[in-house]
Amino acid sequence: MVGAAQGRIALRILLTGAGGQLGTDLLGQAGHHEVIAPTRPMMDVGDRDMVLAAITSSGPDLVIHAAAWTAVDACEADPDRAYRVNALGCRHVAEGARLAGAHLVAVSTDYVFDGTKEGPYLEWDAPNPLSVYGRSKLAGEHEIHTVLPGAAIVRTAWVCGRHGSNMVKTVLRLSAGDGPLRFVDDQRGCPTFTEDLAAKLLELGVSRRPGTFHVTNQGPTTWFRFARDVLDAAGRDPERVVPISTADLDPPRPAPRPANSVLDNAALRLSGVPLLPDYHDPLERTVKALLDQ
């Protein structure tokens, strides 16, 4: 009942990363809430003074921290930038939210795990990131837990949507050409669509739930099988997609990827909070919208 009651109250929400693919859908789903969405020049999350000024001056009830440097391979070459944005940025945003008395929902990643577990990862499994990106995001989680223990951290994976760059758009673009499409079949995860993820972030924020949550669409798959699903949804030949191993990627990727990125949404499930739907439904809607553009 608390969540339902708060859902009818217009909150003032400060959103970081509003220009990204997730941030765009968060803006679109904010509904009756008032959203303050400072741009990067207005609020560089790595600059403590800018962050504290932006948050405290706007007096938000809720901060949703979706800004991050997510260029996984580029992070390997520039770890200082990765930690400045993904770790210190979380410290500064958490401090600003604490000073403003706002609840904080921060987005994290499956890359905090090494991918060696046999089954899906629970929220309580020990992280062991393989890459600079994963280590910087885990550092950001630690900063939030230290500065604002009542915050919510939402780990997600394989994010796709209508906006920005993502795998669905890549597969559609490649399929416009000729020849086979090669995708790895030894990395598993759950595709997560930004429209669904944005709604759940807002729900968790409005209800002021604390702690760590895994939030993905349901249905584990591989990149190979997901690429086939994209072509099938587009009415194109899925047989053009052929499986390869990660070791066969040419050129090889600088940052190691976890072989198993399947996240069990246990904290939601055990709390009685509805899970996101199977990924095939939002995939159909997303592909149709992209092809109609």
pTM: 0.94
pLDDT of residue 4: 38
Tokens representing 44? 């560089």
Domain boundaries, the chain: 2-166+191-218+256-277
Residues involved in catalysis: 133
Nearest CA-CA partner of 106 in 69, 68, 70: 68
Beta partners for 48?
A: none
Instruction: Please name the residues in contact with 160: beta carbons below 8 A apart, sequence gap of 6 or more.
Output: 166, 167, 168, 191, 192, 193, 194, 283, 286
pLDDT of residue 2: 32
Beta partners for 277?
A: none
Rounded Cα distance, 241 and 247, in Å: 17
Rounded Cα distance, 256 and 267, in Å: 27
Rounded Cα distance, 106 and 151, in Å: 8
Nearest CA-CA partner of 215 in 197, 198, 242, 236: 197
Summarize pLDDT for 88-104 with one digit per residue, the tens.
Answer: 999 999 999 999 999 99
Alpha-carbon torsion (22, 277, 208, 270), positive or negative: negative
Tell me the Cα Rg of the chain.
19
Residue 50 near residue 230 (C-beta atoms within 8 A): no
Beta partners for 65?
A: 16, 106
Regions in the chain scoring below 70 on pLDDT: 1-8
pLDDT of residue 177: 86
Q: Look at the chain and count its residues.
A: 293
Neighbours of 219 (CB within 10 A): 17
Instruction: Please name the residues in contact with 252: beta carbons below 8 A apart, sequence gap of 6 or more.
Output: none
Tell me which CATH code domain 2-166+191-218+256-277 carries: 3.40.50.720
Residue 131 near residue 114 (C-beta atoms within 8 A): no
